[in-house]
């Protein structure tokens, strides 16, 4: 006689098998959510222009900028590291909300790098990648209004620290760098549009910004033209990394692939070349004076 226990086991397997097969299929096809700010997402699509991201070998051209190229590098690193799940882009509200959603496990990571000091206190919740932008590599200019002749004529630190500078309290690396350099006439406002308006109205003299990759290096914010003080630059203190949520079920697989792929890109010199080709490592800045040099600083 067929044992009753064996019969029960077979029946249970017949009941569970479809569910197990479905679960396996679901896991295999599960997407990996990566947070991306909408403007970066749009420029990323324009930059790719229907190309396979894995085929990108030149990182300059139209719509290439640091944030976009970092997303390209992340996807290339994941591919090199053997990550095969499809990627789902999740449009995010802002920098700090994107970090919070990774911590909560709503997204796996963020396409653009994050300052280390914004991640360091969350190491129990996050895997943190090797530095993508290394200490001293985030070099910026001092931007002002074209009407501000006093600012444009200031070429050394003693002159510059007499001027008013605008930043946000949330931009901790910028603020720490300014304070360390001796700037004490600092005004705070929550966003870049407000900073541009303050510069245009003459309420402040300076603000920090990456140098634009165009012939005049000018930037336009909400219709306001800003230009850098030619010949001088500042290195923002800190490194930038990709965070990976430890709460997400794909966390270990994603982080392992990202780490392996990033190491390969670094070894080949691809990361530095990509930053140069997109203009983040601005070629003209090589001849500019760095006001706060460190051993690892470079344009």
pLDDT of residue 29: 55
> Mean pLDDT over residues 114-143, rounded?
96
Residue 144 phi/psi, 5-degree rounding, is: -150, 180
pLDDT at 293: 85
Beta-carbon contacts of 169 under 8 Å, excluding residues fewer than 6 positions away, are 175, 188
**Structural contact between residues 88 and 67, judged by C-beta atoms closer than 8 angstroms:** no
- Average pLDDT for 92-111: 94
pLDDT value for 94: 86
**The predicted structure's pLDDT at residue 212:** 87
pLDDT tens for 214-273 read 889 999 888 999 999 999 999 998 999 999 999 999 999 999 999 999 999 999 999 999
Q: What's the chain's average pLDDT?
A: 89
Mean pLDDT, rounded, for 52-62: 95
Per-residue pLDDT at 18:
45
- Cite the beta strand spans of 62-125 per DSSP E: 87-91, 109-110, 114-115
Domains, the chain, with CATH or none: 30-134+239-283 (3.40.190.10), 139-235 (3.40.190.10)
Whole-structure pTM over 0.85, yes or no?
A: no
User: Coil, strand or helix: which one is 133?
Assistant: strand
Percent of the chain with pLDDT over 70: 88
């Amino acid at each position: 006689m067929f044992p009753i226990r064996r019969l029960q086991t077979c029946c249970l397997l017949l009941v569970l098998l479809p569910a197990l097969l479905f679960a396996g299929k679901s896991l295999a096809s599960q997407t990996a959510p990566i947070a991306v700010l909408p403007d970066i997402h749009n420029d990323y699509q324009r930059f790719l222009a229907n190309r396979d991201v894995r085929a990108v070998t030149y990182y300059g051209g139209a719509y290439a900028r640091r944030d976009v190229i970092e997303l390209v590098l992340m996807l290339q690193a994941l591919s090199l590291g053997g990550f095969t799940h499809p990627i789902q882009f999740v449009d995010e509200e802002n920098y700090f909300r994107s970090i919070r959603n990774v911590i909560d496990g709503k997204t796996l990571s963020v396409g653009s790098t994050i300052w280390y000091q914004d991640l360091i206190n969350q190491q129990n919740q996050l895997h943190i990648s090797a530095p993508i932008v290394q200490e001293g590599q985030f070099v910026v200019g001092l931007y002002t209004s074209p009407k501000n002749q006093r600012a444009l004529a200031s070429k050394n630190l003693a002159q510059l620290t007499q001027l008013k500078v605008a930043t946000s309290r949330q931009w901790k690396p910028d603020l720490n760098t300014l304070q360390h350099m001796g700037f004490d006439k600092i005004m705070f406002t929550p966003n870049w549009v407000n900073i541009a308006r303050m510069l245009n109205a003459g309420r402040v003299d300076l603000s920090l910004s990456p140098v634009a990759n165009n012939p005049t290096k000018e930037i336009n914010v909400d219709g306001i033209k800003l230009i850098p003080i030619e010949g001088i630059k500042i290195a923002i203190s800190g490194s930038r990394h990709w965070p990976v949520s430890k709460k997400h079920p794909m966390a270990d697989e994603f982080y392992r692939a990202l780490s392996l792929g990033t190491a390969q890109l670094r070894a080949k010199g691809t990361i530095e070349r990509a930053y140069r080709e997109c203009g983040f490592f601005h070629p003209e800045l090589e001849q500019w004076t760095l006001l706060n040099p460190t051993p690892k600083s470079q344009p």
